[in-house]
Amino acid sequence: MGTAPLRVGIAGLGTVGAGVLKVLATQAELLARRCGRPLVVTAVSARDRGRDRGVDLSSVRWHDNAVDLAADDQVDVVVELIGGSDGIAARTVETALANAKHVVTANKALLAHHGTALAHQAEAQGLTLAFEAAVAGGIPVIKGLREGLAANQVREVHGILNGTCNYILTEMRTTGRDFAEVLAEAQAKGYAEADPSFDIDGVDAAHKLAILTSVAFGTRVDFANVHVEGIRHISALDIDYAGQLGYRIKLLGIARRTPNGIEQRVNPCMVPVGSLIAATDGVFNAVVADGDFADKVALVGRGAGAGPTASAVVADLVDIAIGRRTPTFGVPAGQLLPLTPAPLSARRGRYYVRLMVVDRPGVIADVAAALRDQSVSMESFLQRGRAPGEAVPVVLTTHDTEEVAMLRALTVIGGLGAVQEPPRMIRIEDY
């Protein structure tokens, strides 16, 4: 610390990297006042030197290889914006720490897979490994959990962690179109990648949830024990029925303490239409933490994009510049506890089920018998109209029940001759 400039090296000058350059240039005077010293970009690494990033980089050292930038003796802190859980991104971060440089990263995949080991490496040398930008873009959720709620035992953290999925589900609801059509439009608008599988299959949200779990509960990052479901199977029919029942469908990441361990899951949920989570639409993210003294705290904002993500990166640089240090995941890395996952057999909840059945006598009685045999109690039942001999949608919701019992019942129901496609099940959450 002191009045000498903080020398910043940026590895990766894509959308976020260019955004960081813009924030540092535009807010240079404000940041210098807040830090008591200037923040100066002294080195960058990117594939294309000729591309216009909107900032003059003629006096900045260029490295074709990000690992070389991580060893540059004219750099105090390395900002890693390459992405990916391994390869060049991992080597860049490891090299930076090995060369006594602080690291700021937006790389949720890297942290989900290697976060605990990297925290050990950083803290052993008195270095900062900061990652506000890795979860929920511009929303200060990491600082909110780690520092703002430091006096609390966190009971649960949940929220909308992927803007692509939230945009798709919002468009499906507001336009009545089906998943494939809305996904294609999201790709055309740049809200979804050419290969959208990490987003729509829930993996991106699961990476972020694994990080949030560690910060919230003081456990080692444990991506392997996140239960992950995506949104490919959500249909316009499901969204319509959810509305009729007073719910909206959202892809949620949920981490909660239970008497049987910590539950980590990413899956579509139905939430009451009047709730904050239900009202968070489009590309916005929302995170709710529940602490024993603070109670529920909600943060909503843009979960991606150049400006919001760059804002989070620069906030971490400010912490480093003024010497503000906290353990990477909220407690010293050596004190992070192994995560005890709550077993599937212990999960309970309420459920929405949609069936496509041939409209003939006795079918509903067979469905009810399968639920009764597993001690599953129905709360509501919907069948719109009649079409004798043809497939019609039948929707039911259940009272609180064991998830394993629900799955056993659906296995039986799916085997009934009158059921034309696999049953669709969505959890109902009172958020």
Residue 13, annotated ligand binder? yes
The amino acid sitting at 133 is: A
- Tokens 């003939």 -> residue: 360
Residue 216, annotated ligand binder? no
Strand order in the sheet with 61-63: 61-63, 39-45, 6-11, 77-80, 102-105, 129-130
Residue 12, annotated ligand binder? yes
Q: If we measure between CA atoms, which residue out of 284, 134, 156, 303 comes closest to residue 216? A: 156
CA distance 304 to 165: 12
Instruction: Report the catalytic residues.
Output: 208
The C-alpha torsion from 187 through 190 and 193 to 196, rounded to 10°, is -50
Residue 301, annotated ligand binder? no
CA distance 209 to 158: 8
Q: Quick count: other Cβ atoms within 10 Å of Cβ 69?
A: 29
Residue 17, annotated ligand binder? yes
Residue 108, annotated ligand binder? yes
Residue 18, annotated ligand binder? yes
Question: Is 375 buried (19+), middle (13-18) or exposed (0-12) by CB count in 10 A?
Answer: exposed
Would you mind telling me the total number of residues written for the chain in this entry?
Answer: 431
Q: Token digits for 306? A: 């150049």
The amino acid sitting at 326 is: T
Contact 239, 170 (CB under 8 A): no
- Terminal CA-CA length for the chain: 44
Q: If we measure between CA atoms, which residue out of 295, 302, 311 comes closest to residue 280? A: 302
Question: Is 176 buried (19+), middle (13-18) or exposed (0-12) by CB count in 10 A?
Answer: exposed
Binding residues for NADPH: 108
Binding residues for NADP(+): 11-18
Binding residues for L-homoserine: 193
Binding residues: 11-18, 108, 193
